[in-house]
Amino acid sequence: MSNHVFLEITDIIWELPKNNKDDLPETLELQCNNRKWTNAEVSLWLTKHFNFKVNSLNIKELVNKNSSG
């Protein structure tokens, strides 16, 4: 049985300098390798991955339609 879960991350608000033109996502889907996750962990991962701080976001766990059973 797989422990990974898919997360839908929406309404991402990035902390950006006013003159920044980077095209950062406002929504994305992320595979998490642990069913136990926190908003803080996801926010920290995004901050490290995109090299910009996340001010706020919404997270919803998606039903894994590919799981067998």
Kindly report, residue by residue over 3-58, the tens digit of the pLDDT: 788 999 999 999 987 777 678 999 999 998 877 889 999 999 999 999 999 999 99
Q: Which amino acid is at 49?
A: H
Residue 65: predicted pLDDT? 55
CA count, 13 A, side-chain hemisphere, 59: 17
18, two tokens: 């006013």
Place of tokens 């898919």: 6
24, two tokens: 């950062």
43, two tokens: 């926010």
Residue 69: predicted pLDDT? 44
**Of 60 and 36, which is predicted with more confidence?**
60
Q: What angle do CA 23, 38, 67 make, to 5 degrees?
A: 85
Q: Which amino acid is at 2?
A: S
Residue 21: predicted pLDDT? 63
